[in-house]
Structure formats: C-alpha cells, structure tokens
Amino acid sequence: MDFDETLRKLTKDNPRNASDEAIRLLSKIINNILKDPANLKLRTLQKTNPTVCKKIIPVKGAVECLKLAGFQELEANYTLVANTPLANLEKLRDSLEKWKNSPNCNGVSPEVDIEKDQNNDAGKSNRPETVIKKVELPPLVLTYSNPFLRRVETFFHNVLQYENKELQQRALSLVPLATLEENAQKRLRNIQEHIKKNKLKDPDFSMQDMLILELLEWFKEDLFSWVDSPSCSSCDGKTEFSHMSTDPDVLVYTDRVELHRCTVCHKFTPFPRYNDLNILLETRRGRCGEWANTFTLFCRAMGWDARFVVEESDHVWTEVYSVTQKRWLHCDPCENICDTPLIYETGWNKQISYVMAYSAEEVQDVTWRYCTKHKEVLKRRKQCTESELLQALCELRSKRQQNLTQARKNYLAKRLLNELVEFLTEKKPCEDDQKGRSSGSASWRLARGEIQEEEQDPLYIWEINENDVIDNKITIRYCTSSDTYEYISGGKVLRTVNKWNRGVFKYSGVFRKEEKDWKMVYLTRKEGQTSGTISWKIVLTDCAMSVDTVSLQFQRTTYENAIVNVQMCSEDKSLLIENGCEEIKDFSGSRALTISASLSGGKGDVSWQHAQLFRQPSDNEDFPFSLTVTLK
C-alpha cells in the first residue's frame, strides 16, 4: 500500500474532524524531523502521549502512514531509528501536502494555499486550486447615514451566517459532545453534593449551564489558537507586524491581510484576518474577532440562543441565554470566562461606551450589563443621540422579526423586557471582578473551578493500591505541555489524569498559563493574586506496605524577588524541599504524603507571573514534576 492509498483510507474511514487533525499532526511531525533530523527526541512518539494516543493511534490509516515512512512500532512508542533513510519521510511529506490541497481531501487550509514569493514586500501568491464554499448572505442594503448606525446594520446583517444549517452541522461535527456532556454531568454532581453538604439554597443549574462552561474550556484549550504574529513561513523565526497588504493576489477570501516581517530573515509572512466561518472552521486561529465569531457559531450549533457582542472600541465576545436562569450569560472564549461582565471595565480598565449584542432575531444595546457608572458612560456616548439609537434598534428589530410567529414575538418581547429591567440597577464591582472572576454565588464559582481554597472541598487523592505495585515503586508525574498526569509502576502507565487541577488535592489562586508567543507553559498565580497555593496528596489504601524512601523532582522558576516554597509532609513530619530530593528516608513508615507549594513575591504589574512551577516549552514531553515512592 502506497502513501496515496493510505491517505485515501485515512480520509474515507474516519470522521472528517479526526482525519483532518491526523493529517495536520502527521505533517507537523514529519516537517519537524526533516528540519532537525539529528534530534532523536523528535523521532520518538510515545504511545502514552495524549496527542498520539487520542489523535493518531485511533485514526485508521494514520499509524500505517508512519510505518510506511520508516517508523518502527515498539512496546511503548513509535520510533524512527537514527540510520533510517529520510527518502520515505520526504515522500510522505509531499503526499500530505498534495493531499491537503486536493479536492479529495476533507478540508483545506486557506493559509496553506497562499504561497508567498518572499522576495518582494507585498508577498505574491498563487490562487488556491481548491475553492472553499463561502457562506452566502442576502444582499445588504444600508438605510442609515450615521457611520455608527451603519456599523450596527452591518453587524446585524452578518450574524445571519450563524443560522446556516450546513455551517452549524460542520461546527457540531468538531465538538466532542459525549466528552463535554460527561464532564458537565460531573460538574453538576459536584455542585449538587456541595449544596447538600453545606445546606445551601439550590440554584437550580441545568446541564446547559454546565455545558456552556465545558464548551468554553474545550474551545480555548483544544480547538482555537491565539496569534499575535505568525511564525515566519520561510525560516520559522519570530515576526513583527509591518503593514496591511494591498496586493490583490494576497487578498484571497478576505479584504484584510496583515504582513509580518521576520526578525531573522526579514521576509514577509501574510496573516489573513478571516470573517467567513467556513474558513475559520479550517484555520481555527486568530484574535478576539475570529474567536468570538466562531464560538458564537458553536453556541448556535448547540441549539442555544446566542449573540455576537461588540464593544465599540476593540473587543468582541459572546452571550448565551441560560434557559434555567432566565438571563443572558457573558462568555469570553479568549479568556475562558463566563458571567463576569464587569471584567472589562473594572479588571481591564476599559472606557466602556457602546456594547451591542447581535443575533438573527434581535439587536440590543447591552452596555449597561458591562458598566458600573451609567451616568459617566452616557457622557462618552457621542456617536448619535440616545433617541436615534433607540429608534434604529426598534426599526431593525421589527423588520427582522416580521416573519416570526406571534408566539415567538411574544416570547422575545417578554425576554427583552426582563433584560431592560435588569439594566435599571447599577452593578457594583467587588474584589472578584477586579481579579477577572465572577461575582456570582458560591455554587456558580464552584462550577467554574474559581472558588477560594477555604471554600473548596478536597479534589483528588492519589490512592496507592497494593495491586498496583509491581517493583515496590510508584511514580506520579506531570507534564505541563500536555497537561497530563501519569501513574506508573514497573515501567507501565497504570492510569492518566488530564488537566492540572484534576490531579491536585487543593489549590487557590493558581492557573496554567500558556505563552502563545514564547511557546511556553507553566503553573503560576492568577493575575491580581498576591499568593497562590497548590498541593498533591498520596495515600496508601488497601495496602500492607508503607513508605520506605521518597524521591521528588519539582522544577520551579522565579524572577525578580519571587519566592516558591515547597514542603513535603506526612502524618507527623514536615520537610522543606530546596531543589528537589533523592532517597529521602524521613518519611519511612508513613502511609500518606502531601507535597505543597506556595507562590509569592515578584515586582510590578506582572508580579503574579514571576513565580512559576513546571515551566517548559509547549512542545516538550518531559515531566518537570515527578514523585517516586519506594515501598516496603
């Protein structure tokens, strides 16, 4: 079987999103090896790596491609041994590139199609051979002369694309719905148990409320990527924005293409700013405009009432209507935050003037949800008179709703009235708003994992069962880049836990930070927090054995005057860990251990970032946290 036949099998026998992602990953793996063939680390794919085990191994045809290229399957990994000729690797690379750009491929990346001639400033390109079907909207006829009202008309027209059923189906096919629903059920059970235990009033959250949170997290962590400046397409170096392109050969599928100059080779890399959702479902990258535009589509694909929200200065996000809570929830996919509408004014110090929300059925001025001092905001609203704005909104809303059933019109009118009543009361910011966190109830904060440590129930205990122990040793380790824990004995991974906070015992004021520009990841304090704490707990259960010795690798990084203190404790002993440890015998005979870290100090506005745990490159597969317990 040759590469083309294998690729046909890969795209034919798998769901579209799975085959597209596998082709993308195979291309990345092959290109990395060809760029640095002497790097043996790039030539080994661990089967336990979350990306490999979830996105390559289960995809029919993907492993066959690797084997055709020369990879050998071993017990724990797939390896391209050092003396393997690179000819087959180059053939696979060429086949992948040809396949991605052929009509037979399930998907096509428009940015791959824009081939640049980097020898001139504008960056010439060839027209893409495969034409992506664009979302067709009815013609837009602007009726207002005021520039602001014309922008309102334009946004109100563009949101009609979210109602395209074929587009919704494309989006829904990418969503791991079963996983999100399972996680949402766990959130809901956690809340219900917390309410019952503490005898709190039941807030009556629904599965939809929990799914909103899961969709936000999945969208940010697994689907979309933030781009400030793209890597150089010629040498993969760092680029900086230079200017907007006016070359018609570059302006494909969009009328806005940024040109970024490489700081190393000085060649230009175009970065198209797409609005068309069919294209964004392929590229899955950009800034807040691309993020909010695509996330709103996903919300509509889930069957929820959703609105695209535009803050007049420079930010956009989404609102989703919670049927159970009977109100609109602010959702910012870039930040993975929900129901924190005052974050922009209070936390980001934005001067709010106009915030407009758009859906296929209505356009609404929602400024008052996002500000605390209405009179001051009114003074900044100079784009048109308030009466002109109100009249325009009523006219646009009435025209759009004219073909709706009377029952639907009545429902929308009642919902709008409730929203207007909400706007009559000025909100007051609190400490949580300043930190970018919700000011809602304890139950709602618990649902988002943003509750303070003193309010937080124990999360996870690593229980060591005697049946797990193969060689008198148990290792628990964490990789920041893959955000995965492994529980190992006898060289075998017995179980994995995904997400940093799902393997910790307690935490407060800590989160996992991804530096998209520097391509680094680590755990650090939340912005605005003067301190952060995190701990892991290990307990021997159903086990006649006890601790003999302990070894700990605990990587920490500090800047300025930041401090990271690490302690290891048992039932009756405590030890300060300076720089990792080997063969500690102080806890001999213990049956439980806790490793705790506190983060503090730092200088300036980014002091929260100066104390870091487990910092590593985003493509690194090492384990900067590793605890090995030898038993007796």
Residues 419 and 479 in one domain: no
Counted domains in the chain: 3
The sheet carrying 44-46 orders its strands as 44-46, 77-79, 72-73
The secondary structure of 325-345, three-state, reads CCEEEEEECCCCEECCCCHHH
Neighbours of 599 (CB within 10 A): 27
Residues 425 and 464 in one domain: no
Structural domain contains residue 347: yes
> Which residues are tagged catalytic?
288, 315, 332
Neighbours of 178 (CB within 10 A): 8
Q: Which of 85, 108, 131 is a domain's end point?
A: 108
Strands (E), 480-559: 484-489, 492-498, 506-508, 510-515, 520-525, 531-541, 547-554, 556-558
- Which residues of the chain fall short of a pLDDT of 70? 1, 100-133, 200-203, 430-458, 517, 542, 580
What CATH number corresponds to the domain at position 623? 2.60.120.1020
Beta bridge partners of 629: 474, 550
Start-to-end CA span in the chain (Å): 53
| CA 524 – CA 608 distance, rounded (Å) | 7
Structural domain contains residue 296: yes
Q: Which of 415, 447, 479 is a domain's end point?
A: 447
Residues 389 and 483 in one domain: no
Structural domain contains residue 309: yes
| CA 412 – CA 396 distance, rounded (Å) | 14
What CATH number corresponds to the domain at position 153? 3.10.620.30
Residues 315 and 436 in one domain: yes
Q: Does the global pTM surpass 0.75? A: no
Tokens of 570: 């048992």
Distant-in-sequence, close-in-space partners of 233: CB < 8 Å, separation ≥ 6 = 116, 118, 267, 269
Q: What is the pLDDT of residues 77-124, one digit of tens each?
A: 888 887 777 888 888 888 887 776 654 444 333 333 322 333 333 333
| CA 439 – CA 238 distance, rounded (Å) | 39
Residues 615 and 508 in one domain: yes
Residues 419 and 486 in one domain: no
Structural domain contains residue 222: yes
Domain region containing 441: 147-227+287-447
Tokens of 148: 């602001």
Neighbours of 459 (CB within 10 A): 17
Distant-in-sequence, close-in-space partners of 284: CB < 8 Å, separation ≥ 6 = 223, 224, 225, 294
| CA 346 – CA 427 distance, rounded (Å) | 11
| CA 215 – CA 284 distance, rounded (Å) | 15
φ, ψ of residue 560 in degrees (nearest 5): 50, -130
| CA 193 – CA 422 distance, rounded (Å) | 31
Residues 221 and 342 in one domain: yes
Structural domain contains residue 251: no
Cβ 161 vs Cβ 277: under 8 Å: yes
Residues 491 and 384 in one domain: no
Q: So what's the pLDDT on residue 430?
A: 55
Residues 469 and 484 in one domain: yes
How far, in Å, are 163, 318, 628 from residue 289 at the CA level? 18, 11, 46
Structural domain contains residue 249: no
Residues 215 and 347 in one domain: yes
Structural domain contains residue 300: yes
Residues 485 and 551 in one domain: yes
Structural domain contains residue 366: yes
Q: Which of 447, 481, 501 is a domain's end point?
A: 447
Element (H, E) at 380: helix 374-380
Radius of gyration of the chain, Cα coordinates, nearest whole angstrom: 27
Residues 13 and 49 in one domain: yes
Cβ 514 vs Cβ 523: under 8 Å: no
What CATH number corresponds to the domain at position 12? 1.20.58.2190
Sign of CA dihedral 53, 57, 62, 67: positive
